[in-house]
Structure 1
Amino acid sequence: MQQLLLRIDRFNTLVGHAFAWTVVLLTLVITWEVFSRYVLNSPHAWVFDATYMLYGTLFMMAGAYTLAASGHVRGDVLYGFFRPRTQATLDLILYFVFFIPGVLALCWAGWDFASESWVINEHSSVSADGPPIYPFKAIIPLAGASLMLQGVVEILRCIICIRQGEWPSRVRDVEEVDVEKLRHMVHADLPEQAPAGSAK
């Protein structure tokens, strides 16, 4: 069971890493538009559409990856003091009360939006001769499905934790570094220096 959970973690981590490259594409598009607008005096109407589609794609497809890394915002004021079983029980309740209904609604509505958009060959109405947005809308149910898959993994983790009393392992990835912890690590590795003016 644990191997299956870790495989799904790895899959969603891989998807998250792949879609993270949209940041590079987004940066290039914006840089080109700024150069084109202010240096060449030739702005492009499609850039606004492209930027919100790239940005939206990044955030939607990062949802499952962030859940796999346990990186979503959490009210840690009290949660961190609870025992793992209590944490898992609370998480399990919240997954069934909020997560599953919300993500199912996202998948359902997203499928309707995407299928209708593909049928009518929808283009953006924000700018004249706007780019097609049906590929962007297709990301909505796809993101919902990957989020639901990772949610099932997290629910199974909660059940395992309730039974065993400790959280099962998860795939580790790059994490934010606590500044104080980093400072301590850096200073711990440096040799101690003699105070200024002391004898050598």
Structure 2
Amino acid sequence: MTMLQSTRAIRRAKPVQRVLYIADLISTVVGKTAAWLIIALMTVVVVEVAKRYLLNAPTAWIFDLNNMLYGTVFMLCGAYTLAQNSHVRGDFIYGSLKPRTQATLDLILYVLFFLPGIAALIYAGWHYAQDSWRILEHSNVTADGPPVYPFKTVIPVAGTLVMMQGLAEMLRCVVCLKSGAWPPRLKDVSELDVVEEQLARSEYVDEEDRRAAIAGAHKIDETARQRGMGGDLNT
């Protein structure tokens, strides 16, 4: 989804849905931006392999740098993965439940495990980062290890992003409990926007047919999305 499509979706949404979309957008932007570090990680590995085996000139601190790059990607993409509903779960049971049952189960688990766990991560990560900055900590894996205080700063930042997205997911659960259907995610509107734009530009579709086609597309999308979350709309 482009930024323009995201902005349109946010503007059209109702207040509660707008909050969900904004949380999704923040997590998505951060996650996709952090994903570019994979290119940096790949470049570092390729260059180091060439130096080590072709020039016989290995870099002592490259192991630390690889770990920090990968760790940064892993942590900053956590909220994005949650926004995409892509974390691993036992779908063989969860997928057969109705939306309201799913929302109830999710909400209970968020309160019991997610909130205290992520709060502990933010709290501990903040102190780790604070102590690391105070002493300008460097890695002790090698004699001349790189600084690790920027990397440790990522811990509370990533935890805060995951907490924000988790609160949005809890709000989704509340909406589902009230309506009996899962509210859409920001990614769900992308294909519908494409359909609407194509129909709007077509010279061979009149207004009545265009509206009927868009309504049909929305219905198909809603059915597929609810089935994707598990269960059906009969609550």
TM-score above 0.5, yes or no: yes
Deviation at 1:146, TM superposition (A): 0.2
**1:66 and 2:66 are equivalent in the alignment:** no
Distance (Å, rounded) in 2 between the aligned partners of 1:5 and 1:76: 23
- Correspondence for 1:115 among 130, 133, 136: 130
* Deviation per residue, 1:124-146 (Å, 9 max, x gap): 00011110000000000000000
Aligned to 2:21: 6
- 1:45 matched to which residue of 2? 60
Q: 2:41 aligns with which of 26, 49, 52?
A: 26
1:97 aligns with 2:112: yes
Q: In the alignment, what sits opposite 1:75?
A: 90
CA distance in 1, matches of 2:171, 2:26: 17
- Give the one of 157, 166, 169 matched to 1:151: 166
Letter in 2 for 1:143: A
Q: Determine what percentage of the aligned residue pairs are the same residue.
A: 55
Matched, 1:88 2:103: yes
Alpha-carbon offset, residue 172 of structure 1 = 1.4
- The offset of 1:153, in angstroms, is 0.2
Give the Cα–Cα distance (whole angstroms) in 2 for the partners of residues 110 and 116 of structure 1. Answer: 10
Distance 2:126 2:103 in 1: 31
Amino acid at match of 1:135: P
**In 2, Cα distance between equivalents of 1:92 and 1:117:** 35
Q: Deviations over 1:68-98 (max 9, x none)?
A: 0000001111110100000000000000000
What stretches of structure 2 of length at least 5 have no aligned partner?
1-15, 191-235
What amino acid is aligned across from residue 140 of structure 1 in structure 2? I
Helix, strand or coil at the partner of 1:172: helix
Alpha-carbon shift at residue 8 of structure 1 (Å): 1.2
Distance between the aligned counterparts of 1:78 and 1:20, measured in 2? 32
Select 1:136's aligned residue among 151, 157, 172: 151
- 3-state SS of paired residue (2:133): helix
**Structure 1: any 5+ residue segments left out of the alignment?**
175-200
**AA in 2 matched with 1:64:** A
Deviations 1:24-72 (A, max 9, x none): 0000000000000000100001100000000000000010000000000
CA distance in 1, matches of 2:84, 2:104: 19
**What is the TM-score of this pair, normalised by structure 1?**
0.86
Structure with a larger share of its residues in helix = 2
Aligned alpha-carbon RMSD (Å): 1.1
CA distance in 2, matches of 1:8, 1:79: 24
Q: Secondary structure at the match of 1:43?
A: coil
Give the number of aligned pairs. Answer: 174
3-state secondary structure, aligned to 1:151:
helix
Dislocated runs of 4+, deviation >6 Å:
none
